[in-house]
Structure 1
Amino acid sequence: MSQAGAQPGRAQETRGLLLGALGVAIFALTLPMTRLAVGTPEAPQLAGLFVGMGRAAVAGLLSLAWLLALRAPLPARSDWWPLAMNALGVVFGFPLFMSVAMRYVGAVHASVILGVLPLATAAVGAFLHRQRPSNAFWACAALGSGLVIGFALLRSGADGLALHPADLLLLAAMLCAAFGYGWGGRLAQHMSAEAVICWSLVLSLPATLPAAWWLRPHGAIAPAAWGGFVYVALFSMWIGFFAWYRGLALGGTVRVSQMLLLQPFLSMLFAVPLLGERIDAVSLGFALAVLATVVLGRKLPVTQ
């Protein structure tokens, strides 16, 4: 086929990468906003279990309204099992494990554990879609993950290498996210991205809504903590997936998953206006190096 005939595929992949980047930009505030919502051991706010279930319940109610307003058809019978698998990973597993862990570790420390999420997501995506990325692609993905982990360790100070029991929860959260992203990307091949996350959340409502009500706080909670909760419910659990799953469908889970490598650096960038932090030359250098691995990875072959 001529080069012109191959061009639409490249354009679609580019659009997928851009939508994936938008989703990652939205997700980039999840760790700091969750930390804001749950507080610290010295100044606890919302319980981690409530944040995990509450964000899914709020997003589930919004999803139900969305689907009813659009008169969306029911998913095909063959889609209910993949929707359940997606929900298990991104509605229950990741939010619950991550929300409980974030009271005990900082966002930078958490990024060390979650730094291999792009690599894990690519592996799950390759398995589910029966794709065979080249050895060079895996090497490039591993290099990107190594740069992210190295940056996080560099920025975590003297205690950066110290492990915490909550790291086991973060590791479980990472595996759940990779599992859910893989199934969500597979569903988005024939369902809209909005339908994938909305039906997953609605399917989960019989569990998330009663649990959130049972776990609701009874004491005084700081407004900032409620602000963090609103963000993770509205953006991290709902709107972000509109762009993310559409990006996975258009660009392929294996390739688009590498956009997650940029998440720690986007978090750092957002901290400039939000927290008054500054970006130094080392941080910028790491960010550019990671971006280079994403660009290079796009050019490496991924075959069926």
Structure 2
Amino acid sequence: MSEQDSATLPRAVTVNRGARPRAHRGTLLAGLGVLAFSFSFPATAWALEGFGPWTVTGLRGVLAAVLAGTCLAVNRVRLPDRRHWAGILTVAVGCVVGFPLLTTLALRTSSTAHSAVVIGLLPLATATASVVLTGVRPSRLFWWGAVAGAVAVVAFALEQSHGRPTVADAFLLGALLLCAAGYAEGGRLSRHMPGWQVIAWGVVAALPATALTLLVAVPSEPVHITAKAVTGMLYVAAVSQFAGFVVWYRGMALAGVARASQLQLAQPLVSLLWSALLVGERVPPVAPIAAAAVVLCILTTQRARE
């Protein structure tokens, strides 16, 4: 070994040792984000008991913007650089407007369990979007695990719907494509600014659209205020639309967008549990089998090197 190699070896070892805890911390934060998001569909179902779908979309966006704007003002955060605004608008369209609206419309005719499982395709879509946006290419083993997880989720969804796609599935497909772009772009931006600022500016940028939606929807949709509807609304506004993204985007920035996104393979199955406990839906008997397959795929993607 040359003298130059000896001099650079400790530094390389130090970098590798530093990268591993960073990735583990990112995985933990992303996992907390997945847990927070797993309540979103049951909470939306609760909100729909008292509000119309367009009202839910507009009100959750407006409430989240008030919360995010307050945080930005208190911390005296400066406006993002001009080069970041395209990404922030992608987050706004995908995660603040498109995904909430389309999933809420889907939940009018689809169960929370079925909707949650269809959205299980989101990790694969996010990983693909990440490759397009960042150029980072995960290993072949990673893709095998990601595709296998997506296949398991789709097979489970088709088994539950007897192999017939529905109108709700079309809404959910559009939702996951928009959300995947928002997730990938948000994860990329979180490498340049704190993750909470990414989603904060995203919900603030979407405020004109969400406020207009609310103003148009309230007169035309019936409102029945109940404790359950208000609880669901507050959750999707404060957590699903803001707080969950804070840890989610930070986790993706530390662990890598593609790798962190695969943790969401577990989200549909966790949502199934909440749908049974909170909404009273029946958990399908094949759910444990699907859960085992998904966990195996997650372990594969997390062990694969990018």
Q: Distance in 1 between matches of 2:18 and 2:261?
A: 21
Tell me which amino acid in the other structure corresponds to 1:17: T
Which of 17, 26, 46 aligns to 1:36? It is 46
In structure 2, the residue matched to 1:20 is: 30
Report the secondary structure of 2:206's partner residue. Answer: helix
Report the CA distance between 1:10 and its aligned residue.
1.3
Is residue 271 of structure 2 the alignment partner of residue 301 of structure 1?
A: no
In structure 1, the residue matched to 2:6 is: none
Q: Could you list the runs of 5+ residues in structure 2 that have no partner in the other structure?
A: 1-8
**TM-score, length-normalised on structure 1?**
0.89
Which of 161, 168, 181 aligns to 2:183? It is 181
> What's the CA shift string for 1:259-302, capped at 9, x where partnerless?
11010122234356546789898544432332222122122232
CA contact (8 A) 2:117 2:268 kept: no
Aligned alpha-carbon RMSD (Å): 2.2
- CA separation of 1:7/1:55 partners in 2, compared to 1, >3 Å: closer, same or farther? same
Tell me which amino acid in the other structure corresponds to 2:33: G
> What's the CA shift string for 1:207-245, capped at 9, x where partnerless?
222321332255434332222111111110011001100
In structure 2, the residue matched to 1:106 is: 111
Report the CA distance between 1:195 and its aligned residue.
0.3
> What's the CA shift string for 1:82-126, capped at 9, x where partnerless?
111111111111111111111111112213432211000000011
CA contact (8 A) 1:27 1:263 kept: yes
Which of 79, 82, 90 aligns to 1:85? It is 90
- CA separation of 1:250/1:83 partners in 2, compared to 1, >3 Å: closer, same or farther? same
Q: Distance in 2 between matches of 1:232 and 1:291?
A: 26
Tell me which amino acid in the other structure corresponds to 2:233: F
- Give aligned-pair identity as a percent: 36
> What's the CA shift string for 1:101-157, capped at 9, x where partnerless?
111111122134322110000000111110112222111101111222334445x3x
Report the secondary structure of 1:103's partner residue. Answer: coil
Report the secondary structure of 1:120's partner residue. Answer: helix
> What's the CA shift string for 1:164-196, capped at 9, x where partnerless?
222211110010110100110111011101100
Which of 64, 68, 83 aligns to 2:69? It is 64
> What's the CA shift string for 1:25-82, capped at 9, x where partnerless?
010011122122224xxxxx42111111211111001111111111112111111121
Tell me which amino acid in the other structure corresponds to 1:293: C
Q: Report which stretch shifted further, 119-128 or 266-275.
A: 266-275
Q: Distance in 2 between matches of 1:96 and 1:28?
A: 17
Tell me which amino acid in the other structure corresponds to 2:145: C
In structure 1, the residue matched to 2:5 is: none
**TM-score, length-normalised on structure 2?**
0.88
Q: Distance in 2 between matches of 1:263 and 1:79?
A: 29
Correspondences of 1:193-272 after superposition (within 5 Å):
193-216=195-218, 217=221, 219-271=223-275
Structure 1 residue runs of 4+, over 6 Å off? 276-281
Tell me which amino acid in the other structure corresponds to 1:166: A
Q: Distance in 1 between matches of 2:108 and 2:285?
A: 30
- CA separation of 1:280/1:57 partners in 2, compared to 1, >3 Å: closer, same or farther? closer
Report the secondary structure of 1:226's partner residue. Answer: helix
CA contact (8 A) 1:111 1:152 kept: no
In structure 2, the residue matched to 1:139 is: 144
Q: Could you list the runs of 5+ residues in structure 1 that have no partner in the other structure?
A: 40-44
- CA separation of 1:276/1:107 partners in 2, compared to 1, >3 Å: closer, same or farther? closer
CA contact (8 A) 1:112 1:153 kept: no
Is residue 54 of structure 2 the alignment partner of residue 49 of structure 1?
A: yes
Report the count of equivalent residues: 294
In structure 2, the residue matched to 1:121 is: 126
Tell me which amino acid in the other structure corresponds to 1:146: V
CA contact (8 A) 2:38 2:271 kept: yes
